[in-house]
Amino acid sequence: MLEIPILKSSMTKILKVLLCVGLSSLLPVQTVQAQAIIPAPPQLAASSYLLIDVDTGKVLVERNSDEQVPPASLTKMMTSYIVSAEINSGSVSYDDQADISVKAWRMGGSKMFVREGTKVPVEDLLRGVIIQSGNDASVALAEHVAGSEEAFVDMMNQQAALLGMDATQFQNATGWPAEDHYTTARDLSLLARALIIDYPKHYALYSEKYFSYGAPGEKVIKQENRNKLLFRDKTVDGIKTGHTDEAGYCLVASAKKKGMRLVTVVMGTRSEAARAAESQKLLAYGFRFFQTHKLYSADQVLSEARVWGGQNEQVRLTLADDLVLTIPRGAGDALKVEMHVNNEIKAPFAKGAELGDLVVSLNGEQLADVPLVAADSVEEAGFFARLIDIITLFILGLFR
Enumerate the active-site residues.
73, 76, 133
Report the C-alpha gap between 27 and 7 in whole angstroms: 31
Contact 371, 351 (CB under 8 A): no
Helix-helix angle 149-162:76-89, to 10 degrees: 90
- DSSP at 230: H
Strand partners for 370:
358
Contact 168, 156 (CB under 8 A): no
**What are the respective helix, strand and coil percentages of the chain, to the nearest 5?**
35, 30, 35
Q: Which helix (H) or strand (E) holds 181?
A: none
**Residues with Cβ within 8 Å of residue 127, at least 6 apart in sequence:** 205, 208, 211, 213
Report the C-alpha gap between 65 and 195 in whole angstroms: 19
What's the Cα-to-Cα distance from 353 to each of 21, 37, 299, 320, rounded to whole Å?
21, 39, 13, 10
Helix-helix angle 76-89:135-146, to 10 degrees: 40
Report the C-alpha gap between 224 and 127 in whole angstroms: 11
**Residues with Cβ within 8 Å of residue 55, at least 6 apart in sequence:** 260, 261, 292, 324, 326
**Residue 60: HSE in the Cβ half-sphere, 13 Å Cα cutoff:** 33
